[in-house]
Amino acid sequence: MAKTEKEKMVTGELFNVYDPELVAERGAARDQVEALNALGESDPEESTRRVKALFGATGDAVEVHATFRCDYGYNISVGEDFFANYDCTILDVAPVTIGKHCLLGPKVQIYSVNHPADPKLRRNGAMGIGKPVTLGDDVWVGGGAIICPGVSLGSNVIVAGGAVVTKSFGDNVVVGGNPARVIKNLK
């Protein structure tokens, strides 16, 4: 039996971005995100409830400031004590797993989606491929940083503001620059 486009998406295979099931799921997630963003900071308890309904898994303490953007929501898992500041985007075609006690500065972008190198497959943005992103515990991502598809960061990692993280790093480091590199060891 042939795989659905959603099955291809979640297993990291080339998939049709415009598949009707995926379009409908993105639309439903956008409705949830717009409702979350409309709250602003007026009702923190309702905001937390909406984040927990949107994300695939969360800890008890989770705070996401407006405006937030994601593709599906259900591919995002965050641990206890998660905070995302203003204007964050998490493109969650593949799983985005974030550990406990993590902070995202304003305008942080996490991408788990890529497009094929072949221009014929890339035309009209119709084909995508997912690569999971994983952040360990106690990760702080500074404002304006970008985490690219397939990146894993260990625990106790600080990503400097404006960094573009194109490869994975282990525990206890500060990374920064474009492309990001180790600036300092923390232990």
Token pair 């800890």 is found at 59
Close Cβ partners of 142 (under 8 Å, ≥ 6 residues apart) = 105, 108, 158, 159, 160, 161, 162, 163
Tell me if residue 115 is catalytic: yes
Is the CB of residue 33 less than 8 Å from the CB of residue 73?
A: yes
Which of 121, 131, 79 lies closest to 100, judged by CA?
A: 79
Whole-angstrom distance, CA of residue 83 vs CA of residue 156: 15
Which listed residue (26, 49, 115, 131) is catalytic?
115
**So which residues are the catalytic ones?**
115
